[in-house]
Structure 1
Amino acid sequence: MTQGTAGTTIKVRPPELRKGAVIAQSLDNQWVTARLTREMVKKGRSLRDVENIRGKEVRAEYFRSLINTRQVVVNRVFFYNNRAMSRDLLEGGAARLAHQKLLAEGALVPYLLHEREPADRPRGVDVDEEGFAAWQETLEQMPAGARTTCVRLSWDDRENADTTRNALFNPFAARVQGLTAKDIPLLASQVGVPERRVQQFAEKIGEVVQLSNERRTHDQHVTRNVLYEQFVSAPGLPVSDGKYDGAKPFAGEIKQLLDLIYNVNLADALGMYPLTPSGSLRRVALQEWRDLRTAPSGTITDPEQLLLFLQRQAFSTVQDRLALTPSTVDALALEDIVSLRQSTPWHRYMEAFDALIADPVAFHERAGLVFDRYVRLNSEIVRLAGARYAQRARANKWWPVLEIVITIGGSVFSAITGNETWSVTGEIGAATAKYGGSVQLVLRNRREGRREQKFAREMASVRFDSTREWEQFHSMVRRLPGYQEQARRAAATSSATVQDENLDY
């Protein structure tokens, strides 16, 4: 039940969020792609040093999240500490009005930790003062009658403190402490550690777990900041500077794991799906299939049912075509995103995708409609860009393709169609006692640009409870026409183919 309204705030708890609401990991102030993280560690660069590259990627992911989902929940500090978001508030004018509209519609929902109003200053958190002032002004200037929907675990302060401890801080520590119980060679391969260094990586992970255990023993919080300081960040600098120490073994790999745990943890606490951006470590790396959370659409356990996602007939309704796509999504304005979300193509696209995730096993019947409406949505984006920027608007030739990515343990299977082709590839990784993972739908340009509009979402979870089921599935996939198989070497990133209570949240 809604806790009610106060002033300009609608106060809700997680169950009252819209179905399909997501946490956008890219808005995390520490988010960097795995590729850029490696470069930063190697060359000693900070977040400030890569701001131009990173800012464009964050902005593109921010817009994609608003284009491809109905509701995005955002940690309240990211509204003013993340320039990809605060730039619209600082700019004022039409950009700020667009942000206000997204807040009023509940498309953007601030997650509040202890605060009771979104304009409250968070305790114990460094804020960008310029961005924070713009955020407060934006809220003060909301149109008459408009309210901002905010979510907390509970609006009773005592209950919220208990729930936050039990749903956020303790699970974060538990996930960190559970790392040594994982299949370490598999984990190493997923974060890009070469085989010859697996033992060293295992020892370093043991040190991370040991520090976590020691802090818990002394009733101290285990937070991402604390672990960053010890294993990731350059000494003598604030963690917020984002300078990662190349002298600390596996700093980049440990950062990837801590960021994944941090964002998955918050999504779980809110009962939502984390929206993992391209180039980031995916949840499957946490090897959670022993206690796998049920995805919104349930968990697939039947090998034959899973095979349907990869078979050619599942793609029969997808038509090859040549279209246009915006050259870079982040070149649009936030006002364009608001206009897009009000358009008929966007609403029809959302309806088609909602129907798909409600019954993912009916993929072969519904994928074509999602694909068709996705193409039309991109045409609308190009139209909006052309109307706004006239001669400056650019569009790329677009060969849209649909791809299904099935991750099971250390293995990845992908089927792709579009541009008159269809192929199935398997990258086979280490065997595990339990086989779990996910089914992901990807819609993109075959000639992919990093910042073009594209779509990637988990549709369902997968769990095989025995080696027999895994072998049955593997055997059936091998018999698909044109199937190709290779050793699994790539990291578990979402590419096209393949918390102190005040300090850290």
Structure 2
Amino acid sequence: MTDLDDDQDRVARVRPAQLAPGAVIAQSLDNQWVSAELTRRMIARGQSLRDVADQRGKEVRAEYFRSLINTRQVVMNRVFFYNNPAVARDLLVDGPARDAHRRLLADGALVPYLLGEHEPTDRPGSVDLDEDAFRAWQDTVAGMAATDRLTCVRLSWDDRENVRDTRSALFNPFAARVQGLTAKDIPLLASQVGVEEARVPGFAERIGEIVQFSNEQSVRHGSVTRNVLYERFVTRQGYPISDGRYDSGKPFAGEVKQLIDLIYNVNLADALGMYPLTPLGSLRRVALQEWRDVRTAAPTDAVRDPEQLVRFLQRQAFSAVQDRLTPAAVDSLALDDIRRLRETSAWDGYMREFEALTRDPSGFADGIGGIFDRYVTLNGEILRLASERRGVPASVWDPVIEVVVTIGGAVFTAVSGNELWSVVGALGATANGSFGGSVQLALRNRQAGRREQKFARELAPVRLDGEREWNQFLDLVRRLPEYRERRGGLAATSSATVQEIEEIQEY
């Protein structure tokens, strides 16, 4: 599975295609990630990331654990291991947490993405580092067992190829996505980022300014990066971007930040050939209106049959499950508990069921019940571990499966579980001549709450051939019992020498 130059090399150097099937980029581990709600509050109150560190830290920590619970392999920008306090806290002191982190690295559960470095402990250029956490990261890696190898991924391990591939797979597509924003359905985009109808003209003007600035940067051979756009349109002047001080005087700073962050994380996931794992409360990929290429996948992987799409939304029969667990119990766990959870048969069974469904989405009707049962069993293990650690009591658990089908600007959501079932359609714009989207599966607790266990993953891309297939699908959906429909989009709240090699700018 690995490209190793030397059997004694402690680093397993892989390319993206060698990652585990279903590997994800977790957006919440981005050290600039803030939920849309918290971003608005920060701007209104003039707060920085430091001012909301406690609340944000809890949210990021929970998403970090949930990404490890719900996927085999999580790929992280190498900087996030030491610049994200929710991750770095496990490295700062010798003990069970650091040991668990080492085990997850050795198992390939956590994979650093290296931009241009050869070693995971190399100091990245042009990045403000948390020096204590960076030294702790270096110590953690140095303390791994002699027989362990740390899996790291790079676009290419040939330096010249890596410079070329990084430019073509990361920087150019990022600029192209930004520069293509004015070609979107702006009223639909505005509704998805939460802009009120009366402010849509101002929002459209601001999007035009961002695109114009980006175009001018490209013409002058300047950089079009997230930091450059942050400085101009999001953050306060005179403060480091890492402070996270968003300027209320810059029009639509919060909405622009959410949009830029989505493009940034989707772009990296596409470059590595995997799905972005978008946390609850963040802008979803559907906002980018990429109807022709919602996921980097071969056309044969796409769902094209309108009747098959309807089957994703049809009612599934599930047994009522009561008195099982409180998913928020995961918040009381430590990293070592997560490591132990990943070694249980319940976790392995859940992964195998999910991976089987991802490989063959057409088997949804037969396979979804197995995933549901495995999910409940897995959460029983979470409760057991939480009870061992802090005596967290059991309470009523109402598991729900939610299927989301997006086609163009339309979103259809089916919810079922514990005899509850409903289908809701929100009809936004659809692109002429192109009806693409995706099927996403979410597992969650029906009991509302900000800290609930909710995990969503895309199962398959959708590419209907045209308007006839779209109308066929819509007609079939409208015949489903309990179907409700509304107009408008939903808020989308995923061997050369060093001197001869061009330095890669921080992405």
Q: Is TM more than 0.5 here?
A: yes
Contact 2:92–2:133 (Cα < 8 Å) also in 1: yes
Deviation of 1:177 after TM superposition, in Å, equals 0.7
Give the equivalent residue in structure 2 for 1:459. 459
Give, in whole Å, the separation in 2 of the partners of 1:350 and 1:236: 47
CA distance in 1, matches of 2:271, 2:127: 21
Q: Per-residue deviation at 1:46?
A: 1.1
CA offset at residue 345 of structure 1?
Answer: 0.3
Distance in 2 between the 1:29 and 1:328 partners? 25
- The aligned counterpart of 1:373 is 374
User: Alignment partner for residue 93 of structure 1, among 88, 95, 98?
Assistant: 95
**1:208-287 to 2 correspondences below 5 Å:** 208-287=210-289
Cα shift at 1:273: 0.9
Q: Does the C-alpha gap of structure 1 residues 75 and 295 become closer, same or farther in structure 2, counting only changes over 3 Å?
A: same
Q: Secondary structure at the match of 2:292?
A: helix
Letter in 2 for 1:300: V
Contact kept, 8 Å, 1:289 with 1:436, in 2: the verdict is yes
Aligned partners of 2:334, 2:438: CA distance in 1, in Å?
Answer: 33
Q: Which digits, 9 at most, give the CA deviation of each residue in 1:273-297, with x for residues without a partner?
A: 1111111111111111134434488
One-letter identity of the residue aligned with 1:409? G
Measure, in 2, the Cα distance between the counterparts of 1:447 and 1:91: 37
**1:410–1:430 contact (8 Å) kept in structure 2:** yes
Deviation per CA, 1:189-210: give whole Å up to 9, x if none: 1111112222211111111111
Show the counterpart of 1:138: 140
- What displacement does 1:5 show? 5.1
Aligned: 1:388 with 2:389: yes
Matched, 1:425 2:424: yes
The CA distance in 2 between the partners of 1:102 and 1:5, in whole Å, is 23
Match of 1:299 in 2: 302
C-alpha distance in structure 2 between counterparts of 1:465 and 1:49, whole Å: 50
Equivalent residue for 2:444?
A: 444
Which residue is 2:402 aligned to? 403
CA-CA distance at 1:503 after TM superposition: 5.5
Q: Following TM superposition, by how much is the alpha carbon of 1:227 offset from its aligned partner in structure 2, in angstroms? A: 0.4
1:69-108 correspondence runs (5 A): 69-108=71-110
- CA distance in 2 between counterparts of 1:285 and 1:126 reads 31
Alpha-carbon offset, residue 186 of structure 1:
1.2
Per-residue deviation, 1:419: 2.0
Cα deviation, residue 383, structure 1? 0.8
Kept in 1, the 8 Å contact 2:293–2:436? The answer is: no
- CA–CA distance in structure 1, aligned partners of residues 253 and 126 of structure 2: 26
2:498 aligns with: none
Question: How many Å apart are 1:452 and its aligned residue?
Answer: 3.0
Comparing 237-246 and 39-48, the one that deviates more: 39-48
Matched, 1:309 2:312: yes
1:55 aligns with 2:57: yes
Aligned residues of 1:287 and 1:436 also touching (Cα < 8 A): no
Which residue of structure 2 aligns with residue 349 of structure 1? 350
Q: Is the 8 A contact 1:276 1:282 kept in 2?
A: yes
Q: 1:402 aligns to what SS in structure 2?
A: strand
* Alpha carbons 1:169, 1:501 under 8 Å: kept: no
Aligned to 1:398, what secondary structure does the other structure show? coil
Q: Tell which deviates more after alignment, 393-402 or 262-271.
A: 393-402
Measured in 2, the distance between the counterparts of 1:369 and 1:172 equals 39
Deviation for aligned residue 1:449: 2.8
Match of 1:324, SS state, is: coil
For residue 289 of structure 1, give the secondary structure of its aligned residue in structure 2. coil
What is aligned with 1:497?
Answer: none
Cα separation, 2, equivalents of 1:248 and 1:52: 26
Structure-2-length-normalised TM-score: 0.94
Structure 2 residues without counterparts, runs of 5 or longer? 495-501
Contact 1:407 1:439 in 2 (8 A): yes
Alignment root-mean-square deviation, CA: 1.7
Residue 372 of structure 2 contacts residue 401 of structure 2 at CA under 8 Å; is this kept in 1? yes
SS across alignment from 1:90: coil
The C-alpha deviation readout for 1:149-173, integer Å capped at 9, x for no partner, is 1011111111111111111111111
In the TM superposition, what is the alpha-carbon distance from 1:404 to its structure 2 partner? Answer: 0.7
Look up the equivalent residue of 2:467 and give its one-letter code: T
Secondary structure in 1 aligned to 2:92?
A: helix
Worse-superposed segment, 401-410 or 445-454: 445-454
Structure 1 counterpart of 2:90, which letter?
A: D
State the Cα distance separating 1:412 from its structure 2 match: 1.6
One-letter code of the match for 2:443? Answer: L
> Is 1:43 matched with 2:35?
no
Select 2:204's aligned residue among 202, 205, 219. Answer: 202
Equivalent residues of 1:125, 1:503 under 8 A apart: no
- The aligned residue for residue 499 of structure 2 is none
> Cα gap change, 1:125/1:503 in structure 2, threshold over 3 Å: closer, same or farther?
farther
Bigger Cα displacement from structure 2, 297-306 vs 76-85: 297-306
> Structure 1 residues 465-474 or 208-217, which shifts more?
465-474
2:497 is matched with: none
SS of equivalent residue, structure 1 residue 300: coil
| SS of equivalent residue, structure 1 residue 451 | coil
Compute the displacement of 1:488 (Å): 3.4
Residue from 138, 157, 160 that aligns with 1:158: 160
Q: Distance in 2 between matches of 1:206 and 1:266?
A: 24
Which residue identity is paired with 2:348?
Answer: H
Q: SS at the partner of 1:137?
A: helix
Secondary structure at the residue paired with 1:397?
Answer: coil
In structure 2, give the amino acid aligned to 1:325: T
Q: Which moves more between the two structures, 294-303 or 113-122?
A: 294-303
Gapped runs of 5+ residues in structure 1?
Answer: 495-499
Tell me by how many angstroms 1:27 deviates. Answer: 0.3
Instruction: Check if 1:364 corresponds to 2:347.
Output: no
2:23, 2:477 → 1: CA distance? 33
Distance in 2, Cα, partners of 1:34 & 1:100 = 33
C-alpha separation between the residues in 2 aligned to 1:437 and 1:229? 32
SS at match of 1:119: coil
How far does the alpha carbon of each residue in 1:75-131 deviate from its partner, in whole angstroms, 9 at most, with x for none?
A: 000000000100000132000000000000000000001110001100111110011
CA contact (8 A) 2:174 2:263 kept: yes
2:367 partner amino acid: R
Cα distance between partner residues in 2 of 1:291 and 1:412: 17
Q: Quick check: 1:295–1:460 contact (8 Å CA) kept in 2? A: no
Distance 1:187 1:217 in 2: 26
User: Matched residues in 2 for 1:487 and 1:38: separation?
Assistant: 26
- CA change 1:255–1:501 in 2 (3 A) is farther
Aligned equivalents of 1:4, 1:94: Cα separation in 2: 30
* Count of equivalent residues: 495
Q: Is the 8 A contact 1:183 1:432 kept in 2?
A: no
